[in-house]
Amino acid sequence: MAFRFVRVFSSRRTLTTFQNSRVVPVTYKEHKNTIPVLSRAYATPIPPPPPKSNSSNKILYLIGAAALIGGGGSYYLYTNNLIKDIGISGNKVSDKLKVIDYAKIYRQIADILEDNDYDDGSYGPILLRLAWHASGTYDKNTNTGGSDGSTMRFSPESDHGANAGLKLARDKLEIIKLANPEITYADLWSLGPIIPWIPGRKDADDGTKCTADGLLPDASKSSNHLREIFNRMGFDDREIVALAGAHALGRCHPDRSGYSGPWTTSPTLFTNGYYVELLKKKWQEKKWKGPKQYVDKETGELMMLPADLALIQDKKLKPYVEEYAKDEELFFKDFSAAFHKLQELGLTRTGEETVYHFKRTSDEEEDKK
């Protein structure tokens, strides 16, 4: 079974199948008493009600700016054409206070993902990687890093080796930002996967709070390194393995990470295939001039990184790989919880924020039975 979440699977031809879906807003306190569920749908036209003026949800009101960045007139025309292509008026960008329609922005992201000329036909995997890398710099000991600030917009963080290639993702979302200047980059980058999502991230004004290099996982390292990186953020062994399941999506590129190839045969479908392949295939070191990586012995078309194989070489991590290979629903549940936790690292919450659950109305009817 495979499920779809907005950053990987949405496209014009599939959007119509989700017109009966809606956003289900709940408070953070209510959310903490529920198990995060990975829903198989997109956001819909029904936004949450406007926040009360005296509530902590004032964060939903931001000042929009009409400024366009760089490139002069030709860039402006190109941008407006793209905006029109996804059904947004390109004539005027609001410059007044407004309630942010996250459901609308969610659908706009969905509408620009599919591109047959890019990679495997979807920008979804690289946008998920952007959300991951923007959040995965958190250090619980210093309470620094994380998704708040969107500091990857600035050097030196934008130039870190682990972030190579992510300019493509940031540029792809810039069209959405230009059409919706009221949303912060930090919220925009984190919006997409079908997991419980809470807005309220702020943007840094400059690069003074850029994180140090080396805070993200190094694909060439062992399980000891993985624990060092993930424990620093507050994750345990199960969560380490669950988050690694994101490698079911996308592929490596020699001009970015130095590595090459996809982990699975379906790099735009989010499944438990990463764990299945990791256990089922026989892996041998790739003979090439690039960094050390492995390919499947049978076809040589799939690849694994040293850090991937570390998951089955470590006796404490391997049982979780085996669990997720056997139980896809368990993987979906654990990945949802871990990724939600990842995107919340370093954020201060009052307990009154709106939590967005993107869920199909048909699923809700089933829940009521």
φ, ψ of residue 146 to 5 degrees: the values are: 95, 180
Mean pLDDT calculated for residue range 235-248 = 97
Where in the sequence of the chain do the CATH 1.10.420.10 domains occur? Answer: 223-331
Domain 223-331 has CATH 3.30.365.10: no
Mean pLDDT calculated for residue range 53-62 = 25
Higher pLDDT, 77 or 193: 193
Where in the sequence of the chain do the CATH 1.10.520.10 domains occur? Answer: 6-213+347-368
**Residue 288 among the catalytic residues:** no
pLDDT at 141: 95
pLDDT at 368: 57
Q: Burial of 18 by CB count in 10 Å (0-12 exposed, 13-18 middle, 19+ buried)? A: buried
Q: Inform me whether the pLDDT recorded for 11 exceeds 50.
A: no
User: Of 102-116, 309-323, 344-358, which one has max mean pLDDT?
Assistant: 309-323
Q: Inform me whether the pLDDT recorded for 118 exceeds 80.
A: yes
**Residue 189 among the catalytic residues:** no
Q: Inform me whether the pLDDT recorded for 307 exceeds 50.
A: yes
Residue with tokens 């048909």: 362
HEC string of the chain?
A: CCECCHHHHCCHHHHHHHCCEEEEEEEHHHHHCCCCCCCCCCCCCCCCCCCCCCCHHHHHEECCCCCCCCCHHHHHHHHHHHHHHCCCCCCCCCCCCEECCHHHHHHHHHHCCECCCCCCCECHHHHHHHHHHHHCCCECCCCECCCCECHHHCCCHHHCHHHCCCHHHHHHHHHHHHHCCCCCHHHHHHCCCCCCECCCCCECCCHHHCCCCCCCCCCCCCHHHHHHHHHHHCCCHHHHHHHHHHHHCCEECCCCCCCCEECCCCCCCECCHHHHHHHHCCEEECCCCCCCCEEECCCCCCEECHHHHHHHHCCCCHHHHHHHHHCHHHHHHHHHHHHHHHHHCCCCCCCCCEEEEEEEHHHHHHHHC
Of 150-154, 190-194, 253-257, the one with minimum mean pLDDT is 190-194
Confidence band, pLDDT 50/70/90 cuts, at residue 357: confident
Higher pLDDT, 38 or 208: 208
Class level of CATH domain 6-213+347-368? mainly alpha
- pTM of the predicted protein model: 0.74
pLDDT at 365: 46
What are the pLDDT digits (tens) for 162-199? 999 999 999 999 999 999 999 999 999 999 777 889 99
Confidence band, pLDDT 50/70/90 cuts, at residue 340: very high
pLDDT at 37: 32
**Catalytic one among 31, 133, 160, 247?**
133
Mean pLDDT calculated for residue range 210-216 = 96
- Residue 83 and residue 142 in contact, taking contact as beta carbons nearer than 8 Å: no
pLDDT at 212: 95
**Catalytic one among 132, 197, 263, 283?**
263
Crossing angle of helices 328-344 and 124-135, rounded to 10°: 50
